[in-house]
Amino acid sequence: MSYPYQIKTLEQYHQAYKESIEQPEKFWADVASSFQWKKKWHNVLDWNFKEPDVKWFEGGKLNITENCLDRHIDELGDKPAIIWEPNDPEEHHRVLTYKNLLFKVKQFANVLKNNGVKKGDRVCIYMGMIPELPIAVLACARIGAIHSVIFGGFSSQSIADRLHDAQAEYIITCDGAYRGAKDIPLKSVIDDALIACRFVKRVIVCTRTRVPVSMIKGRDVWWEDEIKKVETQGNPDCPAEEMDAEDMLFILYTSGSTGKPKGVVHTIGGYMVWSAYTFVNIFQYQPGQIHFCTADIGWITGHSYIVYGPLLAGATSLMFEGVPTWPDAGRFWDIVDKHSVNILYTAPTAIRSLMSFGLEYVNSKNLSSLSVLGTVGEPINEEAWQWYYKHVGKERCPIVDTWWQTETGGVMISNMANITPQKPTFATLPVPGVNPCLVDENGTEIHGNEVSGNLCIKTPWPGILRTTYGDHERCRLNYFSAYNNMYFTGDGCLRDVNGNYRITGRVDDVLNVSGHRIGTAEVENAINMHSGVVESAVVGFPHDVKGQGIYAYVISEGHHEDAELTRLDIIQTVSRIIGPIAKPDKIQFVSGLPKTRSGKIMRRILRKIAEGETSNLGDTSTLLDPGVVEEIKSGAL
């Protein structure tokens, strides 16, 4: 496997960057031509950010799974595509070669067909991190069905909302999932969701924990039984459906500053080119290397850098079922040692959590196979960066600090391992094709260096989201209306004297808790559903491990028995409505919230108090009732 588009020197980076901005169509046509198309595109790029309307490789026909799998069989058929490491280190790991994986994808694609799934249908996937998860994802892509993977930490209610929004009639799930010491009853969570989703026609259940599950006649079927049926049918082939470059590949729900999560839509051609291009260049992947991305496939990082990016590059992708701290805080290092991992891609929150357990775990393992480290999901603090560099990478391995979003499909701003310089806490330079700019509140571009502002992108890259499912206007309002003719990221950013970018965090009402995006409005809605709650306001506060914690100010009608129990009840309600990942860390009961005369909550003040700042709260003269601030300050947790 060779990558004609792999950048090999700093000079080549600058040259590629220049060309990608000056002649994007030529640049991306060149990159795209190293993939397998059933029919070539007639137009490389068509776009306007007003609508927005972006089309890459229009007229091109392809199937992404042929590019991930079939294309590699001659050269890499017996090489590992996926190495799966189970939750429990005592259990055997599994290796799927490219041949095995293709066979299983075709087989399961036939299962989907047997169960009535057709091109364009939406299939919800709610599974633990077992090899059947990427198999299910790729089987959908094989037949042109649109997958929507939901992270295992979301509740029945969240699943039901997403099923409704996507009108998904098919679900693929597991009986349960292992995560550290816990067993998560996935099927039973799905069963609760389905009480409100009568339109779901079929649930395919894969066995993992073999806990008792209810199986409803006519609706629920076992994965293994369906595979047996396909085997007795005797035809193991499943031709790849011919798809348009701009057909939808997947929907992935993500939180914004308002309302319910939105279904970010990615389309096949552009996403394919972008996930592969960024994978090969950022990590400087070399054939034969083992790439270990610790994300869950329920998030965009898992989509792009466990499944699609690595497989498109014919790489070996290691996926891990468990958590970094079970059975002990050396689990990641065990895996690196056991499988001789070359590239490790994880999140600052995991690094900070492992740091707190001391050096014994990391120093007792052989990490000499590592050559590149990566981080994603939130700004990395200097201390965590240094620890990662020194104790994991032994000062030998570059760290790529990759800034990107669900909406961008792949990495946008990052250094490239051993090619462009790293700078601790800086994502550094844009990837070729990415045209970032900083703007002030009025939308005026801020030129020059040593400046800061809101981060926007001026022109489309192949991996840009195309719409939000079922509601294009929401996509326009969210991303393309704040500033004229630009994509707005929602992040604040500064540019140093050398043009390096440093992302400083969200400037909208979105929290980043352990690298997970959670909208404050979403958490408030969930809290307000608790019977005793009158009103609430949610802000983030700095948290040593999670990056940000969730701080809720709650006006309650009175407590049922006592305040502590009410707190726990509220937490339970949030867990039910959104999922355990959105549980507030702190709940402060207040008698009022600081509001302007027009009724708007002054979050700035609440944020400061949550951060422990009580003296310098800024202008409070516009408040309806300034007295409430004193009360909140004195009760701060």
Stretch of 237-245, 322-330, 487-495, 603-611 contacting ligand WTA, by CB under 6 A: 487-495
Among the listed residues 133, 193, 185, 183, the one whose alpha carbon sits nearest the alpha carbon of residue 158? 193
Stretch of 200-208, 271-279, 462-470, 483-491 contacting ligand WTA, by CB under 6 A: 483-491
> How far is it, in rounded angstroms, from Cα 277 to Cα 207?
35
Residue placing its CB nearer to ligand WTA in the complex, 413 or 632? 413
Which of 7, 62, 272, 300 touches ligand WTA (CB under 6 A)? Answer: 300
Q: Tell me: does residue 608 bind ligand WTA (CB under 6 A).
A: no
Q: Tell me: does residue 266 bind ligand WTA (CB under 6 A).
A: no
Q: Tell me: does residue 517 bind ligand WTA (CB under 6 A).
A: yes
Q: Tell me: does residue 376 bind ligand WTA (CB under 6 A).
A: yes
Binding footprint of ligand WTA, residue count (CB under 6 A): 22
> How far is it, in rounded angstroms, from Cα 420 to Cα 14?
9
Which H or E run includes 516? Answer: strand 516-519
Question: x/- string (CB under 6 A) for ligand WTA, residues 214-243?
Answer: ------------------------------
Q: Tell me: does residue 490 bind ligand WTA (CB under 6 A).
A: yes
Which of 194, 315, 503, 523 touches ligand WTA (CB under 6 A)? Answer: 503
> How far is it, in rounded angstroms, from Cα 523 to Cα 537?
9
The terminus-to-terminus CA distance of the chain in angstroms comes to: 56
Which of 173, 254, 520, 556 touches ligand WTA (CB under 6 A)? Answer: 254
Question: x/- string (CB under 6 A) for ligand WTA, residues 423-462?
Answer: ----x-----------------------------------
Residue placing its CB nearer to ligand WTA in the complex, 65 or 512? 512
Residue placing its CB nearer to ligand WTA in the complex, 100 or 301? 301
For residue 180, how many other CB atoms are within 10 A of its CB? 15
Smallest gap from residue 426 Cβ to ligand WTA (A) = 9
Smallest gap from residue 115 Cβ to ligand WTA (A) = 31
Question: x/- string (CB under 6 A) for ligand WTA, residues 331-370?
Answer: ----------------------------------------
Q: Output phi, psi for 249, to 5 deg.
A: -95, -50
Radius of gyration of the chain (CA): 24
Which of 379, 393, 432, 462 touches ligand WTA (CB under 6 A)? Answer: 379
SS3 sequence of 222-285: EHHHHHHHHHHHCCCCCCCCCEECCCEEEEEEECCCCCCCEEEEEEHHHHHHHHHHHHHHHCCC
Smallest gap from residue 287 Cβ to ligand WTA (A) = 26
Sequence-ordered list of residues with C-beta below 8 angstroms from that of 459, at least 6 positions apart, any chain: 21, 24, 47, 435
Residue placing its CB nearer to ligand WTA in the complex, 144 or 310? 310
Q: Are strands 61-62 and 80-85 parallel, antiparallel or unpaired?
A: unpaired
> How far is it, in rounded angstroms, from Cα 619 to Cα 513?
29
SS3 sequence of 80-145: EEEEEECCCCCCCCEEEEHHHHHHHHHHHHHHHHHCCCCCCCEEEEECCCCCHHHHHHHHHHHHCC
* Site for ligand WTA, rule CB under 6 A: 254, 299-301, 376-379, 401-406, 427, 489-491, 503, 506, 512, 517
